Structure 1
Amino acid sequence: MQTLYPEIKPFARHELAVQEPHVLYVDESGTPDGLTVVFIHGGPGAGCDGASRRYFDPNLYRIVTFDQRGCGRSTPHASLENNTTQELVADMERIREHLGIDKWVLFGGSWGSTLALAYAQAHPERVHGLILRGIFLCRPQDFHWFYQEGASRLFPDFWEDYLAPIPADERGDLMQAFYKRLTGPDQIAQMHAAKAWSTWEGRTATLRPNPQVVDRFSEPHRALSIARIECHYFVNNAFLAPDQLLRDMPKIAHLPGVIVHGRYDLICPLDNAWALHQAWPNSELQIIRDAGHAAAEVGITDALVRAADQLARRLLDLPLEEA
């Protein structure tokens, strides 16, 4: 089984001002003249960390990571102002141009897969290929499954904690009820809602219980950006037209892609990946039989590292057997 590459430090860090009031944190690591890959984090609202750059061979890749608007080291924290999918796509183009990149590989999981597809469909000429994990198509049924009814039936104990901030008479539309509190003036109610929302996600992200994942999601600073930004996006259908990502797949049908998805992913069920694969004949679907949603699960990590190695060697015309 492949594991993450050893920890490395960035060779460059950038603070990139985009549309007010946002300033993005961007860093680069690996080989400056290598094949460029951009790591697109999930959430939206989660941010990157030191592990984000460790899926890639630093001798082959120039690795770009960035924190999307309102999260991680980007500022202002948890801001919803001028924060939409289209603006995040524009930010990626701004980063590409700022760093002088002609084309890059897109690597994204969960919401990161959503944003990767949206970017690729808007700028297919700038993409070598895609490596996607935990596909999230942002269809109405996908939001309903996780935030209203579906996953709730598999985790009734965790669901009870998720419901706790919401009065019984507002539970007919839980996303709207959370949005009311996450954007309201009562900071105590806001944090209570943020912790409940984000902890629900952390508890259900892995097939086997993983306290480290739960702690990462429930840490207050991160929980606030995850909950506020996710809820903002999801009550607005991720700022996408119905079935937009599947409808626009012909725009990128020629691009190579690897789809990695846990068989027991209960945040983004496998039908997301299946539907994408059916619409993308040039993709390879890898169903990880003993995994849920999180990239940190052993089988998913293995598949992602192998996919990144193999794609780099293919694009750089290196022997595949060395991967």
Structure 2
Amino acid sequence: MDRNASHKSAVQYLYPPVDPFDQRVMEVPGGHRIYVEQCGDPGGIPVIVLHGGPGGGCSPAMRRYFDPAEYRIVLFDQRGCGRSRPHAGVEGNTTWDLVADIERIRAELGIERWMVFGGSWGATLALIYAQAHPERAAYLALRGVFLMTQAELQWFYGGGAAQFFPDQWERFSALIPADERGDMIGAYHRRLFSGDSALETRYARAWTAWENALASISHEGPGGDSPADYARAFARLESHYFANAGFLEEDGQILRDTGLISHIPGTVVQGRYDMICPPASAWALSERWSRGELKLIGMAGHALSEPGISAELVRTTKAVARQAERLGF
């Protein structure tokens, strides 16, 4: 890692902005339409970028972690968010629907194997996809690992992170009556699906502000109000997935099934001071994943935009490009 990375802007490490050469909307089962785009070299190393949340959507900056002369960069907005429709919709919206969507995209684009790049919930989805389709993932690049366990949810919504950010937690928890605070995910979920648009927006913004406030080590103060449409999709989808334990068979399923990806190489880039997804999860994964290399980034939190994290991710994509033939792309 660049020792000076924490003192620079993440943008300094990224490739220049690039426009898509292909944009499309795919009809998928369950009444959803998902936005898909491709950037870079149509004949390059294929990579699919999995955004966080659930419900975060893609941004143009996500294209810039890859050399457009080397990579065929595929991004899509997962069900219910970004440019996909219906917006904030949760019917037919589970982890397994998203895994199936990734496979539909791969098949439609005629890609045999690809690099899977994801952070936070995107790392969760990358791991579950690779475990379900290990023959399709040539390399995993993960950031801010989240394993969708009850321990992680309890840390963030049950008072763990609150020990470090009591002021932000007060803003988040004060909207919920004291007798409901033992289950903050459930309490917010009921309000986010109340059917009252103004109420849903109020609680969606509070939910999103709590997460935003803790995302970056370089940011202090309230998370601020997100745009209503973004916050509503983000909060509704997160609470939907979290209330349903990620639609997994059992708690700890991802670690249980690590053997399914033992042959797949990868890199885990983890902020040492990540308050949303603490490093214990990345460490536990790397202990079980023989070909997964853990890169702990000092003075970095959770966000993709952390300078040290961006520097290491770009370093990873450059290294993969140099080894493309050996990795079987």
Letter in 2 for 1:291: A
The residue matched to 1:245 in structure 2 has which SS? Answer: helix
User: Which residue is equivalent to 1:257?
Assistant: 266
Q: Is 1:180 matched up with 2:190?
A: yes
Q: Distance in 2 between matches of 1:210 and 1:310?
A: 34
- The TM-score normalised by the length of structure 1 is 0.95
Q: Deviations over 1:257-280 (max 9, x none)?
A: 100000000000000100000010
Shift of 1:166: 1.1
User: Which residue is equivalent to 1:321?
Assistant: none
Q: Deviations over 1:19-41 (max 9, x none)?
A: 13200000000000001000000
User: Which residue is equivalent to 2:277?
Assistant: 268
Show the 5 A alignment for 1:79-94.
Answer: 79-94=89-104
Q: Distance in 2 between matches of 1:39 and 1:162?
A: 30
User: Which residue is equivalent to 2:8?
Assistant: none
User: Which residue is equivalent to 1:164?
Assistant: 174
Alpha carbons 1:202, 1:218 under 8 Å: kept:
no
The residue matched to 1:316 in structure 2 has which SS? Answer: helix
Match of 2:291 among 267, 278, 282: 282
Shift of 1:165: 2.2
Shift of 1:195: 0.5
Shift of 1:164: 2.8
Q: Deviations over 1:108-161 (max 9, x none)?
A: 000000000000000010111100000000110100000111001110111111
Please list every run of 5 or more consecutive structure 1 residues that lacks an aligned counterpart in the other structure: 319-323
Q: Is 1:301 matched up with 2:310?
A: yes
Match of 2:300 among 280, 284, 291: 291
Q: Structure 1: which 4+ aligned runs deviate by more than 4 Å?
A: none
Match of 2:36 among 26, 36, 49: 26
The alpha-carbon distance between structure 1 residues 135 and 167, as it changes in their structure 2 partners (threshold 3 A), is same
Q: Is 1:204 matched up with 2:229?
A: no
Q: Deviations over 1:214-250 (max 9, x none)?
A: 45x7222111111000000001111112211011111
Alpha carbons 1:55, 1:304 under 8 Å: kept:
yes
Identity of aligned residues (%): 51
Shift of 1:169: 1.8
Q: Is 1:243 matched up with 2:236?
A: no
Q: Distance in 2 between matches of 1:104 and 1:246?
A: 22
User: Which residue is equivalent to 1:57?
Assistant: 67
Q: Is 1:12 matched up with 2:22?
A: yes
Alpha carbons 1:163, 1:196 under 8 Å: kept:
no
The alpha-carbon distance between structure 1 residues 210 and 7, as it changes in their structure 2 partners (threshold 3 A), is farther
Show the 5 A alignment for 1:93-242.
Answer: 93-209=103-219, 214=223, 218-240=226-248, 241-242=250-251
Q: Distance in 1 between matches of 2:317 and 2:230?
A: 28
Alpha carbons 1:44, 1:230 under 8 Å: kept:
yes
Letter in 1 for 2:105: I
Q: Distance in 1 between matches of 2:76 and 2:57?
A: 8
Letter in 2 for 1:148: G
The alpha-carbon distance between structure 1 residues 289 and 25, as it changes in their structure 2 partners (threshold 3 A), is same
Task: Let me know the Cα RMSD of the aligned residues.
Answer: 1.5
Higher relative contact order (CA 8 A, sep 6+): 2
Please list every run of 5 or more consecutive structure 2 residues that lacks an aligned counterpart in the other structure: 3-11
The residue matched to 1:52 in structure 2 has which SS? Answer: helix
Would you say how many aligned residue pairs link Structure 1 and Structure 2? 316
The residue matched to 1:119 in structure 2 has which SS? Answer: helix
